[in-house]
Structure 1
């Protein structure tokens, strides 16, 4: 089982990374993290090349990421919330995944889920209704376009005060989600 994490946090040792590390600690198989802040990926230029061919006209670090997505059994999406959505660096990388959405146009989308997926999000503000909705919309739609079955999400609000250490309930949710992914891949 291969798991690919698309990681969108600027701080390499922040709360989002702690959630990812805990998740991966309890997950079976091979694991790799793609750090959106430390990749050489240009933004999508909406040339629509991918509407006609399953690929991208921009030849950069994204070519390796496409290969890793194709090889992965699991996709994990992780980001802190910046102004009610995922970080700009991760969004820019995700925009380059337009090639998968364009499968609707090319008529070559798989007709069933071929991967498993999970979402991890962190918000600095105290918990409020729909705090993670912006991130959910981007991430859930991305998983769908990647033909990936959504297994669940874990959100840590109030990270300006709390952490996985002060929120054992959230810590357990992360472990439970990793175990759910393990079971789903058996």
Structure 2
């Protein structure tokens, strides 16, 4: 079993890291080998819509994505952990996600897997107090990634008001992380 984490926080020891560490600890052995891609510490250029991926399963831009694609392919589980900036994922993570256009293009190339072969979930953190649709933008982006990559979406755990509260003080969030870890075991 292999778990790939797409980590989207600029802060190495913030609330997003806290949630991710709790989830991975709850997953225990079911996480298998865990590898992390830190979006803030990768050199990935934005998609240029050259449509190379419409014809070939790959990308014309030769950068760190050439190392990330095989890691995505090898993963059984994909976990996205990200803060939410202005109602969506941060720019550094969005650049990386946009480069997964190669997976969407499988529809055009006619080589998309017929069945879900992977499982995915996401953790989102917002600094503001909770409000309606606070995480919707991030959920749409990551939900689209999972759909385009034939990944079964096991769900999202969100945590609002992180500017004032900690995950460890939220029994509800801790329970949701435990429940999500359990879904990975099934």
Instruction: With the length of structure 1 as denominator, give the TM-score of the two structures.
Output: 0.96
The 5 A counterparts of 1:107-146 are 107-146=110-149
Report whether the alignment pairs 1:15 with 2:18. no
Report whether the alignment pairs 1:153 with 2:159. no
- Shift, 1:148, TM fit: 0.2
**In structure 2, how many angstroms separate the alpha carbons of the residues matched to 1:174 and 1:92?**
27
- Structure 1 unaligned runs (5+)? none
SS in 2 for 1:165: helix
**In structure 2, how many angstroms separate the alpha carbons of the residues matched to 1:182 and 1:46?**
38
Note the aligned Cα RMSD (angstroms).
0.8
The 5 A counterparts of 1:56-75 are 56-75=59-78
**In structure 2, how many angstroms separate the alpha carbons of the residues matched to 1:175 and 1:32?**
20
- Structure 2 unaligned runs (5+)? none
Query: Alpha-carbon deviations, 1:107-147, whole Å to 9, x = none?
Result: 11111111001010000000010000000000001001110
Q: Report the count of equivalent residues.
A: 183
SS in 2 for 1:134: helix
State the partner residue of 1:50. 53
**In structure 2, how many angstroms separate the alpha carbons of the residues matched to 1:22 and 1:166?**
13
Report whether the alignment pairs 1:90 with 2:93. yes
State the partner residue of 1:6. 6
Query: Alpha-carbon deviations, 1:54-90, whole Å to 9, x = none?
Result: 0000111111110000000011111101000000000
State the partner residue of 2:105. 102
State the partner residue of 1:165. 168
**In structure 2, how many angstroms separate the alpha carbons of the residues matched to 1:150 and 1:2?**
16
**In structure 1, how many angstroms separate the alpha carbons of the residues matched to 2:2 and 2:170?**
29
SS in 1 for 2:153: strand
For structure 1, which segment, 25-34 or 151-160, has the greater mean C-alpha deviation from structure 2 after superposition? Answer: 25-34
SS in 2 for 1:5: strand
